[in-house]
């Protein structure tokens, strides 16, 4: 079957998983990042090499804000919520971030590979 523009744009290709967060008294859905969100996160990982920029980043809260969704897959948080979300429990955010990393291939090994590919592309 050959796909059409509409078929591609209507495809439900952002899987989500339910993650228990006992610190918050329940569960949250964590969904796969969109391509644009993933690009943004990749740039953040690259900025982590710059110590000055790294101090300004709120990577954990940003990943959580971009990946916590309702049961229909709509984000619960916007970029404006990142500061407030970053003030929540490290343990809770880390649990959500870990689930998001697994779902989005953002584990440390995969990020290292991303950085190696970026260095060879820009060299």
Token pair 């979300």: residue: 85
Domain assignment present for 74: yes
Tell me what pLDDT residue 46 has.
78
pLDDT digit string, tens, across residues 11-64: 999 999 999 999 999 999 999 999 999 998 888 887 777 666 655 678 899 999
Three-class DSSP category at 88 = coil
- CA-based torsion, 58, 59, 61, 62: positive or negative: positive
In a domain, 103, yes or no: yes
Is 4 part of any domain?
no
The domain of 79 spans 14-122
């Amino acid at each position: 079957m050959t796909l059409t523009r509409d078929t591609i744009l209507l495809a439900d290709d952002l899987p989500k998983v339910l993650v228990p967060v006992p610190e918050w008294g329940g569960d949250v859905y964590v969904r796969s990042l969109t391509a644009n969100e993933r690009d943004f996160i990749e740039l953040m990982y690259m900025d982590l090499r710059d110590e000055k920029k790294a101090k300004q980043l709120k990577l954990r809260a940003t990943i959580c804000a971009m990946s916590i969704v309702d049961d229909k897959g709509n984000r619960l948080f916007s970029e404006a919520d990142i500061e407030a979300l970053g003030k929540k429990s490290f343990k809770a955010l880390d649990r959500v971030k870990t689930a998001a990393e697994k779902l989005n291939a953002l584990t440390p090994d995969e990020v290292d590979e991303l950085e190696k590919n970026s260095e060879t592309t820009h060299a």
